[in-house]
Amino acid sequence: MREHLDPVLESTPTDGRKLYQTYDFDEETVRLAYHYEVDPEFFITITGGEWNTYSSCIWEDGFTMTQAQEKKLDKYAELMRLKPGDRIMDVGCGWGGPLVYFCHKYGAIGHGITVSPMAIPVAEARAEKYGADATFEVIHWQNLPEVETYQAIFTDEVIVHFEDLGGFFAKCHSMLTPGGMMVNKELHFTHSSHKDWADSLSQHINKVYAFTGNYRTLSEELRLLDENNFRIKNVYEIAMDHYRKTIDDGWLKNMRDHKERLLEVTTAEHYDDFRKYLKCSLFGFRKGAFGMHIIASEKMS
């Protein structure tokens, strides 16, 4: 199952849990595979709902997981100023849920990219189920052609993996049509000193991410947008309690309820590591280490 990926951790950086690690292209891809290249049923089962978003939802009293996923996605559509016929790109498209939702509900024409090939058949089947005009491709964002194509580009909890975030913004600038929108959601450290944390909980989160989690502060992300000629249109804060609920009432509950089946698609060690990583994340939220924002910005010429 996952044994072939274990050597990834043998070369784990050992100087504390330093963030902003730089890897060559191949090593980064293998490291990302450590987290994402598992049987898709693992993530589909844990995330649940109709859209299987592996990212925080936005909750209201009495919401189901599907409603909470859609509430977040509708916020994205508003921030992207989405209208029928718009060409949009989802960078880090997971298992296709968000892109298919936008194409199905808002009439967009979508292209999703990922570095995780096992997710592609699931995304394509979802597009077919909804008759959505959405295509999917395995490609690292650095290899995307620099052609003005899209009215909107978005990411949801993906840029944490990008060491060169400024380079990513420059790439998006080159792919957006004039006045196009870029919308990114991510957790942000509430203080820059948090990146030096070396406690065992942070170490565990880093291990599960194979040391590809480059959390930043909000101010750093805003500065990089400015430097890459994006005009900030909205910084929409989502209270961390929405993430707590997504993990506690959704993902951890699904892990408990479907443990037997999950252990058929992955190893007991991976199951335990993943469960512990979710619990460590909740601890970090309680400590006030993170805030969460969707940042909408517009391409300046």
Ligand X SMILES: C[S@@+](CC[C@H](N)C(=O)[O-])C[C@H]1O[C@@H](n2cnc3c(N)ncnc32)[C@H](O)[C@@H]1O
**Which residues are at the interface with ligand X (CB under 6 A)?**
32, 36, 53-55, 91-92, 94, 97-98, 113-116, 140-141, 156-158, 161
Residue 161: CB minimum distance to ligand X, A: 4
169: nearest Cα among 21, 34, 297: 297
Q: Give Cα separations from 26 to 29, 39, 214 (angstroms).
A: 5, 21, 18
d(CA 147, CA 55): 29
Q: Is 39 helix (H, G, I), strand (E, B) or coil?
A: coil
**Structure tokens of 197?**
């944390």
Residue 262: CB minimum distance to ligand X, A: 18
Q: For ligand X, which is the closer residue by CB, 117 or 178?
A: 117
Q: For ligand X, which is the closer residue by CB, 144 or 222?
A: 144
Residue 301: CB minimum distance to ligand X, A: 26
Q: Give Cα separations from 70 to 79, 87, 101, 173, 205 (angstroms).
A: 14, 20, 8, 27, 27
Residue 182: CB minimum distance to ligand X, A: 14
Q: Give Cα separations from 55 to 69, 92, 155 (angstroms).
A: 9, 11, 10
Q: For ligand X, which is the closer residue by CB, 161 or 293?
A: 161
Beta strands 150-156; 176-189: pairing state: parallel
d(CA 210, CA 145): 28
Report the residue closest to ligand X, judged by CB. 92
Q: For ligand X, which is the closer residue by CB, 140 or 195?
A: 140
Q: For ligand X, which is the closer residue by CB, 92 or 284?
A: 92
Residue 75: CB minimum distance to ligand X, A: 13
Q: For ligand X, which is the closer residue by CB, 16 or 64?
A: 64
Q: For ligand X, which is the closer residue by CB, 113 or 289?
A: 113
d(CA 144, CA 63): 38
The runs of H, that is alpha helices, within the chain are: 7-10, 25-36, 40-47, 65-80, 97-106, 120-130, 165-175, 200-208, 218-227, 240-245, 253-257, 259-265, 268-286
